[in-house]
Amino acid sequence: MQTHTISWNGHRLDLGRRTLIMGVVNVTPDSFSDGGKFYSYKDAVAQGLKLTEEGADIIDIGGESTRPYSDEVPEEEEIRRVVPVIKELSGQIAIPISIDTTKAGVARQAIEAGASIVNDISALRFDDEMAGTVSYYEVPVILMHMLGTPKTMQVAPKYDNIVQKIKTFLEKAVKRAEKGQIRRSKVILDPGIGFGKTVENNFELIDRLDEFQTLGLPILIGPSRKSFIRNLLKKKNGNNIFPDSQMLETGTQAAVAAAILRGAHIIRVHDVANTFATVKIIDAIKGA
């Protein structure tokens, strides 16, 4: 297992010595994963504090749903949703806060409010100013693979060799970051589970996650409550499975365990308490 250390602005992530947990707070009315439970400022702040207490190492805050076929949210609205939450949380928790956005304007406002990581699902492709923003503030950036945009990504995705295709994409994304004066030592990679992949693609990606180690950078993976788990379980159950159902959470934890065993450094999830237990056990098995 490769180890990496990212130090910046009073924060430090030791990656690979143990698996880190990123807790998700969606400040959106239409999230696929929690149905808008944390859309209000009060509920979002409370959820961020709860996830921190349960053992999160990073809190990831997003103000735009990236579910398949979703529409883009105007920058002003995204800022209105996330900035007050980040400002309040940053004054109460010591762990890093990540801003999940593809817009440089949102990233700037979020960092000024207290965020210290940029999680860009577009891998710096949607906003020409994003690389410069990340570089200026000297914060880490998460670069993710996605086909097209959230609105188009699930329209018949197809790959000849999915791992090689994604590795090539991520290599180009790293070069894009370096060209924008972002230090390689501050880059984290995400193969993009559920973003332009079939059910089978997602399972294959988790099974072959160790092949991304050749890129020499930390790997983040986000299988939590994704439709590939839901669709597989639905075939067996015969009924629709809701985002907060126990069956879906059990399926998520199975995917989390497999991802850790295949070399994931950071797991992005909605249920930190259950993931904390999974991580403890799987890390102990790996270290035995």
Chain-centre distance for alpha carbon 186 = 16
The set of residues, in sequence order, having a beta carbon less than 8 Å from that of 24 and lying 6+ positions away, is 33, 51, 60, 62, 222, 224, 268, 269, 270
**Residues 197, 226, 230, 262: which is the catalytic one?**
226
In this structure, what are the phi and psi dihedrals at residue 119, rounded to the nearest 5 degrees? -110, 100
Tokens of 26: 């969606």
**Residues 108, 230, 262, 268: which is the catalytic one?**
268
Tokens of 207: 């099974």
Clarify whether 87 is annotated catalytic.
no
Look at residues 235, 232, 228, 238 and name the one whose alpha carbon lies nearest to residue 192: 228
**CB-neighbour burial class of residue 2 (10 A; exposed 0-12, middle 13-18, buried 19+):** middle
Clarify whether 165 is annotated catalytic.
no
Cα(82)–Cα(119) distance, rounded to whole angstroms? 14
Residues with catalytic function: 226, 268
